[in-house]
Structure 1
Amino acid sequence: MSVNLPPLSAIRAFEAASRHLSFTKAGDELGMTQAAVSYQIKILEDRLGFQLFTRKARKIELTDNGGQLAARVVDAFSSLRSAFEDISEKNAGQLVVSSNTTFAVNWLSNRLFEFQMQNPDVGVRIVPYGPHAEPEFNESDVVISACKAPPKNWLAHEIVRADFTPMLSPKLADTIGGVKKPEDILKLPLVDPQDPWWQMWFEAAGLPNVDLSGHPSSRMGSQALEANRAIAGQGVAILTPYFCKTALENGQLIQPFKLTCHADDESWYMSYPPALRTSRKVRLFRDWVHAELKRDGMPVTAPMAVVA
C-alpha cells in the first residue's frame, strides 16, 4: 500500500532539526526562523499522529519514533545531497560544445590544447555537426553555429563574419599559367559551383550573371571539406580567408585576388542559454575564444539576445 508523503518542507525541517537537535540551528541552515521550523515539525507530527521531539527547557530530544524516522530520513537526504553533488561536479567539470564542422576542424582542433592547458579542470567534448544537420542546442553548453539562428532568448556573439573569396592550389593555377583575371577561374573546375557565394563574388568582380551550369555539381556544404579539395588540386573553392590562414601561409592555397565579399546576415556565432551566462566553464571558454580572436586581429562583439 502506498502512503502519500508529508509536505517536503516539513520533512526538510525535521531532517535538519534531528541532526542539530535544535530548531534554531535548523532554521539557520534552512534560512527559516525558529518558529517556522517548529511549525513545520508540528505539521509533520499532526500528519503522523505521534510526537517526534520531546521539548524541554533549553533543548529538544528525539522520541523513540522520532529517532527511528530520523535515521532513515537523514540517510535519504544524505544520498540526495551526494547525488546532486556528483552531478554538479560532473557538469561543472565538463563543457559540451556543439560546433559547425568548419569551425571545429579549422579553428578549434588547432587551438583547443591551449584552452585545456589553461583550464585543466574543465574537460571539453566537441560535438561537430555536418552541413545538413542541426546544432545540438538542447544538449550543449555552448553552440558554434554558421547560418543557423540560436534559439530565442539565447545570448549570441558574432565571432567570424562570412567573408569569402576564391582560393586554389598553386599547382592548379600553374596548369593555366596562373590566375590573373577573374575570368581565368572559369577555365578551371570549381568546388561547389552551386554555392550562391560564387555569383555574388563574380558580380562584385565585374562579371554579373556568370553561367556556371557547365561545371559539374559537387556540393560539399562545408568549408573544411571544400578547402581540402582545393588543397588537393581538385578545383577552385570559394572560402573564408580566416579559416584558411595556415594553408595560405604554408603555400597549400593561394588567394589570387584581394577582393572579398560578405553575405549579409551570414556569420559564425557562439551562443549559449541565458541560464549559463554566469557559468564558470562557459565564461572561461567564451573569454578564451575572444582572446584568441583578438590575438588574430578579429573584432570581438558583445553578446546580443536572440529575439526571433
Structure 2
Amino acid sequence: MDSCYKKAKFACDMGFHSGIWRHPMSRDKFKDRSLALLSDIRMTRHLPSLLSLRAFEAAARLGSFTLAAVELGTTQPGISRHIQTLERQIGQTLFVRLNRKIELTRAGRELAEDIILQFNIMARSIDRIRAQSESSLKITAAPSLCASWLVPKLDKFRKSNDGIHVELHQSKDNVNLELEGYDVALRVGEGIWNNLVADKILPLRLTPLCDAGFASSADFSSIETAFKSVRPLNRKDPNWQIWFAAAGYHESTLCKDSELKLTSREMYAHLALSRQGFALLSPDIYSAQIANNTMIQPFNTVIDLHPRAYWLVYPKWTRKNKLITRLRDILTSFIGGTT
C-alpha cells in the first residue's frame, strides 16, 4: 500500500510541477483533489479475501475442515488452501493440524471470536432485509392504467397473498426501477427496455366510449348520426384519424369545436363520464364500466396499435420472481376474451 501511495504521489507531483498544464481544472483545485485521492488510497482497508475468511469462519465454528467443506459446497483441500492463504496474509498460524483433528491457536481463537460474531451479524441483517423484501412489492404504473383497471386487481392480489405489502405510484415517465427502488412497472411501449424483462399484459386497443346517459338522447344507428349528437374529445390525437379510417368514415364532415387540452387519456375518460363527448379509450381497461353500463361502446370498430401495448416490466435479476409471477397471473386473468 505504501508503495502504491508513493508511486501515485510521484505521478501527481510530476504532473503538478510540469511546465505544461493541460488539465481544464485549476492547479489548486487539481492539487486538492489529488491529495484527497491519495489520502483515500492510504486509508483503504487491507482485508484478506472473503473466500478465505468464509473458509476460516466455517472451519473454526465447526471444528473441522471436512464439515466446513460440506457447508460451503467445496472440498476439504480447497478449505485447507484458503486457510493457508489467510495465514500467509496475516502472518499468523491459525490452526494446529493434528492427525485426526484441528485445533485453533491463540491467534486463531482471537480471530475466530470476532469473525464468527461478524458473520452472524451479517447473516441476521441479510435475513431481515430479505424477509422485508420478499413481503412487499413496490410498483410504478402509467396513470391510464391505475384507477380504472389496476387498483381493483392489486387489491385482489394483496388479499390472495397474506402479509404482502403493495405500494403503487403513478408516473408517465419510464423511471429507472433499481435506482428509484421499484420492483416492477406497468408501461406502455413496444416491450423493449434494456436489461428488463417485459411480459405483455394488455394490447393497446382504442375505440370511442361515452357516458351511458347518451343512450337515451343520441342516435347511434350510424357513425355519422352518432358524432352529430356526441362530439369527439381530443380531436388532435392522431389515433382518431386511424379509427375513422378503420371505420370507413370521413372525419372532415365533423365540426371543429374548441376544446379543453388535457394531458392523459384518464382525464378524457373523466370528461366522457361527465357527458362531454366521446373519448378514445381502451375497451379492455374500461371493460368494467362497459359491463356495468356506466360507459357504452356504440361501435364494433376497435383499432390495435400493435406493437405498442401494456407491459409488466421488471429487472432480469430479481429475488421477487414468485411474487411478480403471481401478480402477472392476476393481471392476465382479468383479460378474458378482450385480447
TM-score between both structures, scaled by the size of structure 2: 0.78
What is aligned with 1:181?
Answer: 222
> Which residue of the other structure, out of 43, 51, 61, is the alignment partner of 1:19?
61
Aligned to 1:140: 182
CA-CA distance at 1:47 after TM superposition? 2.1
Q: In 2, Cα distance between the equivalents of 1:150 and 1:221?
A: 24
Deviation at 1:72, TM superposition (A): 0.9
CA distance in structure 2 between the aligned counterparts of 1:56 and 1:277, rounded to whole angstroms: 43
Query: Is the CA contact 2:56–2:83 (under 8 Å) kept in the aligned structure 1?
Result: yes
Alpha-carbon shift at residue 135 of structure 1 (Å): 4.4
Give the match for residue 227 of structure 1: 269
Q: Please report the TM-score for the alignment, with normalisation by the length of structure 1.
A: 0.85
Q: 1:80 aligns with which of 122, 133, 154?
A: 122
Q: What's the counterpart of residue 297 of structure 1?
A: 337
How much does 1:109 deviate? Answer: 1.1
Structure 1 equivalent of residue 5 of structure 2: none
Matched, 1:90 2:132: yes
| Deviations, residues 48-93 of structure 1 (Å, cap 9, x unaligned) | 2222122222222212221111111111111111222122222211
Q: In the alignment, what sits opposite 2:308?
A: 266
Residue 234 of structure 2 contacts residue 259 of structure 2 at CA under 8 Å; is this kept in 1?
yes
Q: CA deviation at 1:285?
A: 1.4
Q: SS of the residue aligned with 1:178? A: coil
| Higher normalized helix content (fraction of residues) | 2
User: CA separation of 1:31/1:14 partners in 2, compared to 1, >3 Å: closer, same or farther?
Assistant: same
8 Å CA contact 1:166, 1:237 repeated in 2: yes
Cα deviation, residue 251, structure 1: 2.8
Q: Is the 8 A contact 1:136 1:143 kept in 2?
A: no
8 A Cα contact 1:157 1:270, kept in partner: yes
- For the residue of structure 2 that corresponds to 1:242, the secondary structure is coil
Q: Give the whole-Å Cα distance in 2 for the aligned partners of 1:191 and 1:262.
A: 19
CA contact (8 A) 1:13 1:40 kept: yes
Unaligned runs of 5+ residues in structure 1 are 300-308
Across the two proteins, how many residue pairs are aligned to each other? 294
8 Å Cα contact 1:276/1:282 also seen in 2? no
CA distance in 2, matches of 1:201, 1:19: 72
Offset at 1:298? Answer: 3.9
Aligned to 1:119: 161
- The structure whose RCO (Cα within 8 Å, separation 6+) is larger is 1
CA RMSD of aligned residues (A): 2.5
If you compute each CA radius of gyration, which structure gives the higher value, 1 or 2?
2
Whether the aligned pair in 1 keeps the contact of 2:205 and 2:283 (CA below 8 Å) is yes
- Deviation of 1:148 after TM superposition, in Å, equals 5.8
- Give the aligned residue type for 1:281: L
List gaps (5 residues or longer) in structure 2.
1-41
* Matched residue, 1:66: 108
> Is the 8 Å Cα contact of residues 163 and 240 (structure 1) preserved in structure 2?
yes
Q: How does 1:202-213 map to 2 (within 5 A)?
A: 202-208=244-250, 210=252
